[in-house]
């Protein structure tokens, strides 16, 4: 049975009422919102949930938002939308320098938050798109219209499931996708209900893409989380 893919967000904010209100507004719009209420647990949640975007408050217990952003950038390129107090220009500048993708000053309207989230996701996703809509990561080119894949000058023959998995990974290059997220991306395929079938298809993709599948350069395993397509075709 076909289901609508939900976009996974993570909100790191110690204001539990605000988190609840944001969740109630965003979930009918197609987002699933996980939450953490301090910096340290938020950092752990980035690894656990492999979100597609993080909403990160600067004023947090345990670790502040700037430190969380800095540490996230050590292992992930997930888009980060910072929440700041009005007038905190210095913090906004530092946050952007640390790798945040956008900021939103408190208080904010739910409609503005939704618009910012969509803009950041659209901008981050479009960085890998060519004018004809193909997705390129290094020497890997994936055309969703013709469903053809080229690695350098060579065309790579893929099954439907393999293509859908590779496209999902390429559109999120540099980010870790959990098996659950990958199953949602390919929910039209019969194997989607079987968690470990993802591993089988990743293994087959490696056989077709990698010079040495035992030491992959393209598709990396992040133990306990899922898989990641490297931004470049190198280790």
Q: What is the pLDDT along the chain (235 residues), one digit of tens a residue?
A: 333 457 889 999 999 999 999 999 999 998 999 999 999 999 999 988 888 899 999 999 999 999 999 999 888 878 899 998 765 677 777 888 888 888 898 889 999 999 999 888 877 765 556 666 788 888 889 988 889 999 988 999 998 888 989 988 888 887 778 887 787 766 554 444 455 678 888 999 999 999 999 999 899 988 877 888 887 544 3
Q: Roughly what angle, to the nearest 10 degrees, separates helices 89-98 and 65-72?
A: 10
- CATH code, 42: 3.40.50.2300
The predicted structure's pLDDT at residue 1 = 34
* Residue 83 sits in the same domain as residue 139: no
Q: Do 9 and 54 contact (CB within 8 A), yes or no?
A: yes
If one counts the domains in the chain, the total is: 2
* Residue 20 sits in the same domain as residue 110: yes
* Residue 117 sits in the same domain as residue 167: no
The verdict on residue 2 lying in a domain is: no
The verdict on residue 235 lying in a domain is: no
The boundaries of the domain holding residue 40 are: 7-126
Task: Give this prediction's pTM.
Answer: 0.60
Q: Please say which residue of 126, 154, 183 terminates a domain.
A: 126
Q: In sequence order, what are the beta bridge partners of 149? A: 142, 156
* Residue 14 sits in the same domain as residue 117: yes
Running DSSP on this structure, what letter comes out for residue 223? T
* Residue 16 sits in the same domain as residue 122: yes
Q: Please say which residue of 100, 126, 152 terminates a domain.
A: 126
The predicted structure's pLDDT at residue 198 = 84
Q: What number of other Cβ atoms are within 10 A of residue 16's Cβ? A: 10
The predicted structure's pLDDT at residue 205 = 93
* Residue 41 sits in the same domain as residue 81: yes
The verdict on residue 1 lying in a domain is: no
Sign of torsion over alpha carbons 166, 225, 234, 170: positive
* Residue 142 sits in the same domain as residue 68: no
Distance CA 218, CA 30 (A): 30
């Amino acid at each position: 049975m076909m289901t609508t893919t939900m976009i996974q967000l993570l909100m790191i904010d110690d204001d539990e009422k605000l988190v609840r209100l944001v969740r109630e507004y965003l979930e009918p719009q197609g987002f699933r919102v996980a939450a953490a209420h301090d910096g340290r647990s938020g950092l752990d949640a980035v690894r656990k949930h492999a979100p597609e975007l993080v909403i990160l408050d600067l004023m947090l217990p345990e670790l502040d938002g700037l430190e969380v952003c800095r540490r996230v950038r050590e292992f992930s390129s997930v888009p980060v939308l910072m929440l700041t107090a009005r007038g905190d220009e210095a913090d906004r500048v530092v946050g952007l320098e640390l790798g945040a993708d956008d900021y939103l000053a408190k208080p904010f309207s739910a409609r503005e938050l939704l618009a910012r989230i969509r803009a950041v996701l659209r901008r981050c996703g479009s960085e890998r798109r060519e004018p004809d809509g193909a997705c390129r990561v290094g020497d890997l080119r994936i055309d969703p219209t013709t469903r053809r894949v080229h690695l350098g000058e060579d065309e790579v023959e893929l099954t439907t499931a393999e293509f859908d998995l590779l496209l999902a990974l390429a559109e999120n290059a540099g980010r870790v996708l959990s098996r659950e997220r990958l199953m949602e991306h390919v929910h039209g395929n019969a194997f989607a209900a079987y968690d470990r079938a993802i591993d089988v298809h990743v293994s087959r993709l490696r056989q077709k893409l990698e010079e040495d599948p035992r030491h992959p350069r393209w598709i990396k395993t992040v133990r306990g989380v899922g898989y990641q397509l490297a931004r470049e075709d190198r280790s």
